[in-house]
Structure 1
Amino acid sequence: MISLSLLKATFFLGLITALTACGAYDVAELKEKTIDTTSYSGAVAEEYRKFVTFEADQMMDWQDAGYFAAKALKVLDDPTAAQPENYKNWNIDQQFVDDLEVGQGRLRIAMRLISPEEGAVNLAKAITSFDCWVEQAEEGWQIDHIAACQTSFNDALGDLEQQKNIKITDAGEATVRLVVHHDLDKSYPHSDDLVLIQSFASKGWDDLQLHVHVVGHTDRSGTDEHNKKLSVSRALAVVNAIKSTWPGEYTFSIEGLGETTPAVATSDGVPDVRNRRTEAEVTLSIEPEFPSIETAIR
């Protein structure tokens, strides 16, 4: 008589064999697929194809190759399926978790701020190299492979940062720097610079939390006391300009430095438009970091 345990073992062996066969079909289909790499879905699928080919042909890891081949084929049918793996769903040793947590947060904000149309190639590389990083971290022993995937991920995000002129922090936030200028002894920004603020506010990011730290400056014409007050007034004017155009939630802090930190060194009393500026560092985050509006003036 065949034992129950033997029957179970035979069943699971058959199941694994069937799943592996399905994965092999997906790998073969992906390898033979004609992919338009100029589209976002095509760029993602092509990056997965490189990864799948490596896993199948060099590492003989047909299970993971099949998994990511199926994912690539799904992306070709539905571009919204181009989503990174959640590393928490993988059996990953604790030594790799902190770095993956940082990477996941950075990728999350990048995907929110940068549309597929704007950054197709680099977004594709960021998503697929993160998945590569997750897969290699679960295996846990090929340290050079883990490092290579992590490096590819960071390089792709770095290219996206450069492309969009943003900085993505390890806290999963994005910072954008805005600089506006002012006429002599005036608080309101130049009209050309107001367009910059309006353009930022119209990007469709209003579901994100926004914090802006605004620092006003003056040139070296005028007294120290006058310039200190003027720099604060300029910072407030820029905050009001942002408030009038930004449709979402926000917090802000302001600072007026007077003539103490010129962009260009000049003699005392010399007016210079390059020094009549207000600098705003805007921080965007997905999680609600700022529950209420608070203003700090230094």
Structure 2
Amino acid sequence: MIPKAIAKIFLGLLISLSACGSYDVAELRQRVVDSSTFSGAVAREYRKFVVFEADQMMDWPDAHYFAAKALKVLDDPSAAQPEELSNWDIDERFVNALKIGDSRLKAAIRLVTPEDGAEDLAKAITSFDCWVEQAEEGWQNDHIAACRAAFNNALGSLEKKTGIEITDVGEAKIRLVVHHDFDRVHPRSEDLVLIRSFASKGWDDLPLHVHVVGHTDRSGSFEHNKKLSVFRALAVVDAIKSTWPGEYTFSIEGLGEAAPVVATADGIREFRNRRTEAEVTLLTAPQSSSVETAIR
């Protein structure tokens, strides 16, 4: 069904809208689409949905609605946005899952550029709209499940390719790992490139929390390694503060030699264990700027 906010207008203008809608569906069917572009990929996915609704389900109102949306995206890629849930009359049993999907999708759209994830973003947006439309109809459970699965698969693929984990509340988590030379506090210079590259993501308007955990290998005493791991975490915090714009908070932890990536005997040097891990959480709610340390 079309969104409830549009339904009354649609009924009042049935004849004119039917003519216009038929044109939109026909236009989308025959439009030559460059699927290598983001807008083209979105239009291609909408076209599959529109053809199914028109030809298989005989649901012309929704076919018209999404055909018009696809054509608009071809003219203006910024129009590729998911449907607003408040515009649809959705049964309560579907609302919670859709709200979670909506939060995750909006986070993905904010964090991943079309250049970095065109195909997956296109599939995520269009399958979410399919999910919304089917949920409002509320009776074809296999169709609802198929749209939902396609949405989750698209977002899952996007997360895997970008290394960004998007939570159910629309927060994003990114894990950065840098390594250290033997008994050194500061990260290796080649690993600092990874930290600096984060500053160019265009996320400086988003509050961040960074949890930094320092580690050592098993060469040296337990007490020495515990202190060294804390200093390594602090050095990574300093590197982040010197390069990242925006608003962020920190917590730090030093685990010494207690959590190796590679198991070794005591006293053995192992480069892969001399690391500092930073888990970056991009927050959806503003946080005050501060640095807090929690050493355990």
Aligned mates of 2:134, 2:42 — CA distance in 1: 19
**Could you say what secondary structure the match of 2:178 adopts?**
strand
Aligned mates of 1:287, 1:109 — CA distance in 2: 12
**Could you say what secondary structure the match of 2:251 adopts?**
strand
Aligned mates of 1:220, 1:14 — CA distance in 2: 76
Taking structure 1 as the reference length, the TM-score comes to: 0.93
Aligned residue type for 2:107? I
Aligned mates of 1:97, 1:243 — CA distance in 2: 40
Query: Which of structures 1 and 2 has the bigger CA Rg?
Result: 1
In structure 2, list runs of 5 or more residues that go unmatched. Answer: 1-8
Whether contact under 8 Å (1:109, 1:285) holds in the other structure is no
| 1:175-254 alignment, distance < 5 Å | 175-254=173-252
Aligned mates of 1:85, 1:270 — CA distance in 2: 57
Taking structure 2 as the reference length, the TM-score comes to: 0.93
Say if 1:12 and 1:163 are closer, same or farther in 2 by CA, change over 3 A: closer
Q: Could you tell me how far 1:12 is from its partner in structure 2?
A: 8.6
1:291 alignment partner, one of 277, 288, 292 = 288
Whether contact under 8 Å (2:10, 2:17) holds in the other structure is no
Say if 1:32 and 1:224 are closer, same or farther in 2 by CA, change over 3 A: same
Whether contact under 8 Å (2:42, 2:123) holds in the other structure is yes
| 1:106 matched residue in structure 2 | 104
| 1:33 matched residue in structure 2 | 31
Deviations 1:162-191 (A, max 9, x none): 111221111211111111111111110000
Identity percentage of aligned residues = 71
In structure 1, list runs of 5 or more residues that go unmatched. Answer: 1-10
| 1:41-120 alignment, distance < 5 Å | 41-120=39-118
Aligned residue type for 1:262? P
How many residues are paired up? 287
Q: Could you tell me how far 1:45 is from its partner in structure 2?
A: 0.6
Q: Could you tell me how far 1:241 is from its partner in structure 2?
A: 0.6
Deviations 1:139-179 (A, max 9, x none): 11111111100100011111111111221111211111111
Aligned mates of 1:184, 1:154 — CA distance in 2: 43
Aligned mates of 2:187, 2:12 — CA distance in 1: 72
Whether contact under 8 Å (2:40, 2:74) holds in the other structure is yes
Aligned mates of 1:153, 1:162 — CA distance in 2: 14
